Amino acid sequence: MKITKYLSTVLLAGTLTACGDSFLEPQYSGAATSEEIANAAQDNPQGVLGSQLDGVYANLSFMSGTGADNINGHMDRGLCGIMMLSNNTSNDVSLYMDGDPWHFDKQLEYYGQEYIRSAWPWQIFYTVIKGTNEIVPMVNPETATADGKAILGQALALRGLSYFYLAQFYQDTYATSQNKPCIPLLLTDAEGSIQSRATVQQVYDQIVKDLTTAIDLLDGWKRTSKSQVDKQVAQGILSRVYLVMHKWTDAIEMAQAARAGYPLMNVDEAFNYNYQDVTNSEIMWGVDITTSTSLIYASFQSWMCAQYLGYGGQVGAVQLIDAKLYNSIPENDVRKYLYVAPGETYPCQDAQGNKWEIPSYGNLKFKAEGAENFLGDFIYMRSSEMYLTEAEALVRLGRADEAYTLLTEFMSNRLTEGDWEIKRATIDVVQNQRRVELWGEGFSYFDHRRWQFDMDRGYEGTNDHPSAWPIHFQNGFVPWYHYSWRYQLPLREIQENESITEDDQNVIGEEGNQDPVADKITDWSEK
């Protein structure tokens, strides 16, 4: 394969983590053996394994470190970085200007094995998996204390989550791809591990196993912070998995259980940009960011908030809602006022007197607390997502009346006045509500892939900057089946993993080739 360099091979070779045998081996300081550590962990799991679990959470929430200077400090933001990446690889988030576009895969142009975009999710999630794999063999669930079971449950849930993201980046959606090669499946020992590309089915089987086991282990455990994964968060993650797998009944069960006790925010809360505060009644999982933990200019808020001097503000890489999506929101929907209206601008000024304007369609949804520290919490899961998961599954099962009742309850917390204009729940209605409600929260790329939506950025009346149009396609249109939706495995993995060769790589075509490399979903019935 002819390789066009984005970064040099030498740089990539020094930045990416391969899945070699050494990847699985825990590293401990001192003279204690693994057996001794495991015994100590049984007696004092929090003292022995607590810091290891904290490190796993840190890798997921903050800098995971691909090692490339151009993204390590200001792009590689763990799960929030993945949210930014996925936001812009869809129809829903538009780019106002060229600005600093390197932080986006906006053009679906950087999916190839030689690019940092293909390495970035791999690095983040296999780093998390490595950390969880060091914890799992240290806890015997049959004899563990309540604290030990909680640590093991959290580790398994985070491992399941990581494999879920990886499976969606590096292969087509589950419904058409069960037997296709996916990713290496690395567990705590040789038994069950697959250094080569496991099938999609094998990976999803492990994801479901990890999450269901985690749910059992976390039963009755009370977390001390919303930054931790408890039973309901694990159920919420599993609802996402079942949605992708077309297990509609299971998705409903998990979504209902997950959102219990997390009421929807009301209209006033929604209008006042309460989307980045873990105290919000909807927030099921998120990280409380303080002045000591803020990433400041490199933070998620710097990218997403247009009202201060960060990347998404004064620098000018403003993230807009797609014009078509904006126009789909009725006038009595509070979410319409989270964006600057067409033909208008929103004036901003910093403490030094510098002035700029947020353009039409610019988002006001993400608002940092202050210009100096860009305070705003990392939000990973809200109960509104669970409502919309349940609604979609109900429609897929032919239970449209139940879905409509649920959506009517949901919309009662989003309408400023009057009634909801929609009188029937269809899949189009559910999809639209999900896109509007979860805008900018990291779902659009994955939803577009499983729904098999085309990317269309060059339509008449588009508000997307031409620099964001995929350059290999006329008028910024990319069909759902094109190979560029699916990331290639990183070059380093092919170089260092003896179980994977270039022949195992995801298909990539010639420039402009639009021949199908994915299968059409024709059966949406429950699997």
- The pLDDT tens digits of the residues spanning 39-91 come to 555 656 665 577 889 889 988 887 645 444 344 455 566 788 888 878 888 88
In a domain, 69, yes or no: yes
Burial of 113 (0-12, 13-18, 19+ CB in 10 A): buried
In a domain, 438, yes or no: yes
pLDDT category at 296 given cuts 50, 70, 90 is low
Task: Point out which residues pair with 320 in neighbouring strands.
Answer: 94, 362
Average pLDDT, the chain: 83
Task: Look at 82-86, 417-421, 464-468 and tell me which has the smallest mean pLDDT.
Answer: 464-468
Structural domain including 97 reads: 9-273+388-501
> Residue 16: is its pLDDT beyond 50?
no
In a domain, 169, yes or no: yes
In a domain, 165, yes or no: yes
Task: Look at 117-126, 181-190, 470-479 and tell me which has the smallest mean pLDDT.
Answer: 470-479
Cβ proximity of 365 and 339 under 8 Å: yes
pLDDT category at 231 given cuts 50, 70, 90 is very high
Structurally, how many domains does the chain consist of? 1
In this structure, is the dihedral angle defined by the CA atoms of residues 224, 47, 211 and 59, taken in order, positive or negative?
positive
In a domain, 318, yes or no: no
In a domain, 507, yes or no: no
In a domain, 378, yes or no: no
3-state secondary structure of 321: strand
In a domain, 37, yes or no: yes
217: domain CATH number? 1.25.40.390
pLDDT of residue 9: 27
Q: Higher pLDDT residue, 157 or 21? A: 157
Element (H, E) at 493: helix 491-496
Angstrom CA distances, 444 to 391, 400, 440, 523, stand at: 17, 23, 8, 22
